[in-house]
Amino acid sequence: MYIMVQVFKNKFQVIKFDELFSIIEFSWLPGVTNKLNDKKYIEELKIGADYIINLKPQNVIVKYENFDYPISPDVQEKVNDLLLPAYFVAKIKKLAFLKPHDIIDVWAVEQIIDERMILHTFDTKLFSDEQKALDWIKE
């Protein structure tokens, strides 16, 4: 049984942590990410990177169902430069992305998972079903 405890919430995101299964979960809140700009998006991700460094989870779930912000290639490069070191410090083993069902949104999420993430020491996988993502992490 997963027990996700909320460790952070602001107007853009919620961060939860399950200590038993060492899972950190990031969720974007509905109807607000379209108000982000590049600087604020990076600031929000920095919050998550700090939680990863401090909590050192083995597994990460990122929920993109409510994400409505276009990410430019330049911003994606900054995202990777910010998150990848945090993943290495925490020694992440699995990174699951819960993707939306809309094909355009799926493409946007796939942009986030660039080749540098796939080539590193942790497994990365896209899911459309939360339970399947949790089951995969638990394997």
Q: What is the pLDDT of residues 1-56, one digit of tens each?
A: 779 999 999 999 999 999 999 999 999 999 999 999 999 999 999 999 999 999 99
CA–CA separation, 65 vs 70, rounded Å? Answer: 14
Is 104's pLDDT higher than 50? no
Where is mean pLDDT largest: 13-17, 85-89, 99-103, 104-108?
13-17
Q: Of 82, 28, 27, 76, which is closest to residue 53 (Cα–Cα)?
A: 82
Helix, strand, or coil (residue 125): strand
5-138 under CATH 3.40.50.12140, yes or no: no
| Cβ within 8 Å of residue 65, ≥6 positions away | 28, 98, 99, 100
Q: Where are the domains of the chain?
A: 5-138
Bridge partners of 60, per DSSP, are: 24, 95
CA–CA separation, 139 vs 135, rounded Å? Answer: 6
Show the 3-state SS of 68-88.
Answer: CCCCCHHHHHHHHHHHHHHHH
CA–CA separation, 13 vs 49, rounded Å? Answer: 13
pTM of the predicted model as reported, rounded to 2 decimal places? 0.87
